């Protein structure tokens, strides 16, 4: 009778209690390895095993007969966590021993198991009232000035939620003007993002971040300030601004 034991070593972390995958920026995703039918007992190296559920076991009852078997593993990480984008890896030595459980085992062979996980970039924008939290369903903001007066202003918040670096762009339909299409009349306005004036003559980058954002998102205060309305023809003036974002 031959007893076979498969033990899973720890590589990146050096610990069985909490393994981790790591990307090229040093960012980590904690995980561990279990038998496919067991979510409680982590697989360990031979010196750390205290019960049979912490290793993979197999038995060969025949002499001089090739033995083959397949064992299913399960890798678990926190599915509710938000991870920065990137490719995360770990390499784990897997060692095969012969011998009876908890007796002196003999190392027969070893291989390396490589684990790779790709987290793609994800970016979401939200346009909310000043001071409001990120809302994935709120992506449209109406600034209604009523009867226009020179220097009048309104504000809103742009929230960016991203697991990577990002760039934000704005494009004005009327190139930074409120337009009365009936009277073919324009009123200039200025747009400020975090107190910095932005040129809306064409689609331009207005903000960027180099890393993933907090879970609440990065906040940008939008202020629209009306220019000189003297001599403007009566009517309704409008403009539409499209805001887009891309991963770096």
Quick: pLDDT tens for 160-172: 999 999 999 999 9
Residue 240: Cβ within 10 Å count: 9
What domains, with CATH codes, occur in the chain? 2-119 (2.60.40), 123-247 (2.60.40)
Q: Which helix (H) or strand (E) holds 219?
A: strand 218-226
Q: Which of 24-28, 60-64, 99-103, 157-161 has the lowest mean pLDDT?
A: 60-64
Of the candidates 194, 206, 200, 208, the one whose C-alpha atom is nearest the C-alpha of residue 156 is 194
Identify the band that residue 21 occupies on the pLDDT scale cut at 50, 70 and 90: very high
Distance CA 112, CA 121 (A): 29
Of the candidates 39, 46, 42, the one whose C-alpha atom is nearest the C-alpha of residue 5 is 46
Overall pTM surpassing 0.75 (yes/no)? yes
Distance CA 95, CA 101 (A): 15
């Amino acid at each position: 009778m031959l007893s076979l034991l498969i033990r899973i070593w720890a590589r990146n972390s050096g610990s069985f209690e909490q393994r981790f995958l790591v990307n090229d920026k040093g960012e980590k995703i904690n995980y561990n390895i279990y038998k496919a039918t067991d979510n409680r007992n982590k697989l360990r190296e031979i010196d750390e095993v205290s019960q049979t559920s912490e290793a993979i076991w197999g038995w060969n009852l025949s002499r001089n007969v090739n033995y083959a078997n397949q064992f299913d593993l399960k890798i678990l990480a926190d599915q509710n966590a938000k991870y920065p984008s990137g490719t995360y890896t770990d390499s784990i030595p897997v060692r095969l021993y012969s011998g009876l459980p908890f007796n002196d085992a003999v190392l027969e062979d070893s291989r390396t198991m490589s684990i790779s996980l790709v987290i793609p970039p994800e970016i979401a924008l939200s346009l909310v009232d000043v001071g409001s939290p990120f809302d994935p369903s709120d992506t449209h903001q109406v600034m209604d000035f009523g009867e226009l007066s020179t220097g009048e202003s309104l504000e809103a918040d742009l929230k960016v939620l991203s697991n990577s670096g990002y760039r934000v762009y704005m494009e004005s339909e009327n190139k930074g003007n409120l337009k009365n299409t009936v009277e073919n009349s324009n009123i200039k306005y200025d747009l400020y993002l975090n107190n910095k004036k932005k040129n809306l003559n064409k689609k331009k980058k207005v903000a960027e971040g180099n890393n993933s954002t907090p879970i609440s998102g990065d906040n940008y205060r939008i202020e629209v300030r009306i220019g000189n309305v003297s001599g403007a023809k009566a009517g309704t003036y409008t403009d539409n601004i499209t805001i887009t974002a891309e991963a770096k």
